[in-house]
Amino acid sequence: MTKRFNVLRTPSARKSADWRGAAPALVEDVLRGLQSTPKRLSPTYLYDERGSQLFDQICELREYYPTRTETAILAANAADIASCIGDDALLVELGSGASTKTRLLLDRLPNLAGYVPVDISRSHLMGAAQRIAAAYPQLEVLPACADFTQYFPLPKPRRAAARVVVFFPGSTIGNFDTPAAIDLMRVMRRMAGIGGALVIGFDLVKDPAVLEQAYDDSAGVTAAFNLNVLRRLNRELGANFELRHFRHQALWAPAASRIEMHLVSTVRQEVTIAGEVLSFAENEHLVTEHCHKYTPASFAAQAAAAGWKAERTWADVQNYFNVQYLDQRP
């Protein structure tokens, strides 16, 4: 799992389990995933309020290295990264969340034309934007509530920007299978426009034991995070999942170079969701998230397919994680 990048789109005021208040496209998407083979749910559904709180706890765990490793890379190289971004840029952060890591760059970028945090959760976005604006009073903060997987026009700062630089930390790119990741990086290229650039973090292939422990911690926080998606479907789509009849499992899939988060049915059972009855066999797997891990070569190939080339790379001493500055290919 990585930084949050989407939420389940149901009316915020609705607290009942009446799934008929949900958007038809949402119900269709969930049912399509649960009726597929193997059963699957989009990882976007992991992040309701409780899921986001559990994810914040995961980021503090000893086993979960990505957050602290990337933060250390950004802290150690903030001046260098800021010099690549340059003065008068419009910095656009996709899936901004609390904008915590961004502050490491903002501290070194006093002359930005503006900062555009982008998140699909309006309340979370506005709260974080207000905190950033208070901490950096000279900075124009222009929050954009949007699904960043689709192109949208960026807000324009009062002072004209020299160029646009997209910031995408957290290895969130790893949540997308290769074709979708390439499509997303093409969206970033369109957002950046001519002369624009991209600063992105991605996780590297390493010992499978390290990877599996990062996604199946000894305290059970990741298990609670994963199981919470079923609680959310119960609340928001009128499902009747029995959480005690599912267990969390994290698997390293070497052929696909990814960690897969699954929920495994421990009994044969039937579940009703949005009026549909779904059958689960004993030991049947429901896939909730893919977390792709890269080699430098595999990420370079993916970036190139989307029209990007790496100009600078920063890594940690264990070579667990990379942050790259990418320019557009001619």
Residues 287, 319, single domain; the answer is no
First to last CA, the chain: 33
Residues 189, 110, single domain; the answer is yes
**Overall domain count for the chain:** 2
Beta carbons of 96 and 115 less than 8 angstroms apart: no
Residues 123, 82, single domain; the answer is yes
Three-class SS of residue 103? helix
Instruction: Let me know if residue 56 belongs to a domain.
Output: no
Beta carbons of 101 and 71 less than 8 angstroms apart: yes
Residues 151, 275, single domain; the answer is no
pLDDT recorded at residue 95: 87
Instruction: Let me know if residue 2 belongs to a domain.
Output: no
Beta carbons of 181 and 303 less than 8 angstroms apart: no
pLDDT recorded at residue 25: 76
Instruction: Let me know if residue 251 belongs to a domain.
Output: yes
pLDDT recorded at residue 271: 97
Instruction: Let me know if residue 240 belongs to a domain.
Output: yes
Give per-residue pLDDT as tens, 77-112: 999 999 999 999 999 999 887 778 999 999 999 999
Confidence (pTM): 0.87
Residues 121, 219, single domain; the answer is no
pLDDT recorded at residue 23: 60
CA dihedral sign, ordered 281, 282, 284, 285: positive
Residues 232, 93, single domain; the answer is no
Residues 220, 117, single domain; the answer is no
Question: How many Cα atoms within 13 Å fall on the side-chain side of residue 156?
Answer: 3
Distance CA 142, CA 92 (A): 9
Instruction: Let me know if residue 59 belongs to a domain.
Output: no
The set of residues, in sequence order, having a beta carbon less than 8 Å from that of 271 and lying 6+ positions away, is 239, 240, 241, 277, 278, 280
Strands annotated E in 57-210: 89-94, 114-119, 144-145, 163-168, 197-203
Residue 257: which domain range?
19-46+209-292
Residues 135, 103, single domain; the answer is yes
Residue 272 to residues 26, 48, 245, 252, 313, Cα–Cα distance (Å) = 16, 21, 14, 30, 49
pLDDT recorded at residue 310: 97
Instruction: Let me know if residue 308 belongs to a domain.
Output: yes
Instruction: Let me know if residue 288 belongs to a domain.
Output: yes
Residues 170, 310, single domain; the answer is yes
Residues 41, 182, single domain; the answer is no
Residues 142, 244, single domain; the answer is no
What residues of the chain score a pLDDT lower than 50? 3-19
Residues 214, 80, single domain; the answer is no
Instruction: Let me know if residue 7 belongs to a domain.
Output: no
CATH number at residue 135: 3.40.50.150
